[in-house]
Copies of this chain bind each other. A is one copy, B any other.
């Protein structure tokens, strides 16, 4: 079937939708459209086709909007530019158990290999209750999609929150063409096996309900295939990347999501970004800048990043007074104790570094733990060195977006454990994220790199980083369903 001719309806399912609501002082609902690859991808793919996006209400305001619409179709109560969106008002306790209790704790921790294994996880009776709610959360999406879908519609299911959804859909509507995309890494069987046996099976079978499974890196795709072979005894072709299971053949592909260069550059040209850049420049003077921007997330490895910076200042004293590290670590999952403790460690270490090195003339480190998107973009523009050192990361878009905006041709110090290392490895300075000494040396190499080499590398980084922009990335998921 030709791309232009296949005008089948397109459905998207994701936890976070393309819009979020807020309640004004007068009690009225306002809304803000989000960015991100899916939004631009869907808009561009959807021209001339019918679309429906199903997502969860994530706040009280979202819930209010969903309630006001009657059936959750929030495009009836807010102008979404023609996009049809169903926002699911899932009962708060079910949502919390599914989202926080399963997806962001168990599944996130497994795929990122974050567990302190002697002490966690611990699959007791409480886990089973939460798992039932994870199932109910997936079922709520299934219900909404089935209600809104035409015969032969294409469904693009997003991420680990909705791993059970493909099978639920297929069971009731074999006519649907279903893709699932994983934005996280995938754990090797030796780690995935810490999940209870029936849960492992339910997750894998849930995803294999799709026709097509997408991953961000060959490493994650291959680990998924190994899990299917080991835990389902499925027939796996590791070269063509297919899984034969339940009488069907499921295709597994890598779609390495790239940066949206045009959208980024447009946003970074706005006045608020220039303001932030001026304020930062005032603060740090004309010193070299090492920049990092992350959520304060256990997998992002901010502590070891700060340790590496400290090691740089200790082992290469020539950089004292010459460089400033901007570390923007905006808050994340503040309802999880491990994350609060981690944020505390980050703050303490930053204080220690300041105490050890700061002089009246020189601020070695600026740590900001609040969220300021235009400030992040300003930092990308100004960076001499971008530090991206996660212990494990599906892709890491900071590594791709930073070079795009860099005005000075930044050097990129990048963890081998980020999916982005697949495309950027040739021109980044790759580091083992656990190796603080190696990371410090890479920072030194980055700072010492001749300007021509740095900008030549940065140009190639940008080329690789933008090879598959969001719209084409999303298109690929749909094309795989033809």
Interface of A toward B, CB cutoff 8 Å: 113-119, 121-125, 127-128, 187-191, 193-197, 223, 298-299, 301, 303-304, 307, 311, 315, 338, 342, 345, 391-392, 416-417, 432, 434-438
Contact = CB atoms under 8 A, between A and B. Distances in A.
Given A116-B116, A391-B117, A304 B190 contact: no
A436 B118 contact: no
A438 B118 contact: no
A416 to B, nearest CB: 8
A2 B290 CA distance: 67
Contacts of A189: 188
A197 B122 contact: no
B311 A124 contact: yes
Nearest to A302: B118
Contacts of A116: 115-117, 119
Contacts of A299: 118
Contacts of A345: 119
Contact of A194 (B123, B128, B434): B434
Given A125-B315, A197-B435, 6 more contacts: A113-B117, A114-B118, A118-B303, A191-B191, A194-B391, A196-B435
Residue of A113, A117, A118, A342 with most partner-chain B CB within 10 A: A118
A255 B194 CA distance: 26
A193 B421 CA distance: 15
A301 B115 CA distance: 14
A391 B123 contact: no
A39 to B, nearest CB: 31
A112 to B, nearest CB: 8
Contacts of A187: 190
A209 to B, nearest CB: 24
Contacts of A191: 113, 188, 190-191
Given A114-B117, A116-B116, A190-B190, A432 B124 contact: no
